[in-house]
A and B are shown apart, each in its own frame.
Chain A
């Protein structure tokens, strides 16, 4: 994220983090519904996408859980997947708090001339 900030500026990173948090929330909604019905195919697809986004923005805690879910989903281990989705939901709350504080700090920075 620091590299993106350097390349494209703080405002871009603020907008990008908002997009990521929207993506995170939307994915959790879809995955929770798929978990309830045991649809591991949908879970694997959505989680794969979130894994990529998280790692691109250095949100490694989410990326790591997503990787584990993706592997277990492909192995048809529904119970383990459901437990990890609960953990993902908890970690996402913490990540949201951290990222919100981060962009609040960026918003106070003067724009690059």
Chain B
């Protein structure tokens, strides 16, 4: 499955790209919010996205807002990954349209299972309920 990673920090770029490839994802990496939006707007764009909050230009939160405003043709499951850890930040991020929220520093295994939860949601949007429930909890 393809996943978009929008992150400008070189350390998080390396960690995320390596972990995700190790878990079997095809990674599309960008470092600016505008580029993230362009990738997600493509007809065959990824339906799973990890977005940093602070990036040059458009923030991850703004990307969430625009995606939810309907600029993509398919549902995109978006996870905000950010150093902002106040509960007010979580509320703002999810009100902007993020499906999930993970704070930095992050635990790799926590990210793995949260992404899998996202995949279950995406699957449930495209399959009958019974089929979704029959899936294993995690690979």
Contacts and interface: CB of A to CB of B under 8 A. Distances in A.
B22 A56 contact: no
Interface string A40-67: 0000010011011101111000000000
Interface stretch (B37-45, B63-71, B100-108, B127-135): B100-108
Most buried by A among B8, B18, B54, B106: B18
B14 interface: yes
A40 B66 CA distance: 30
A53 B14 contact: no
A23 to B, nearest CB: 5
Contacts of A56: 11-12, 15, 104-106
B83 A16 contact: no
Interface string A1-30: 001100110001001100110110000000
Contact of A4 (B10, B83, B108): B108
22 contacts: A3-B107, A3-B108, A7-B19, A7-B108, A12-B18, A19-B10, A19-B14, A22-B10, A23-B11, A45-B54, A48-B54, A49-B54, A52-B11, A52-B12, A52-B105, A55-B83, A55-B104, A56-B11, A56-B12, A56-B105, A56-B106, A57-B11
Interface string B17-61: 011001000000000000000000000000000000010000000
B11 A20 contact: yes
B124 interface: no
Nearest to A70: B83
Given A48-B54, A48-B83, A53 B107 contact: no
A105 to B, nearest CB: 21
Interface residues of A, number: 21
Contacts of A49: 8-9, 54
Given A7-B22, A8-B19, A55 B14 contact: no
A56 B102 CA distance: 13
Contacts of B14: 15-16, 19
A53 B54 CA distance: 14
A53 B22 contact: no
Contacts of B12: 52-53, 56
Contacts of A53: 9-12
A57 B83 CA distance: 14
A8 B18 contact: yes
User: Lowest 8 CB-CB distances: which A-B pairs, in order?
Assistant: A53-B11, A56-B105, A55-B105, A52-B83, A52-B104, A49-B9, A23-B10, A7-B108
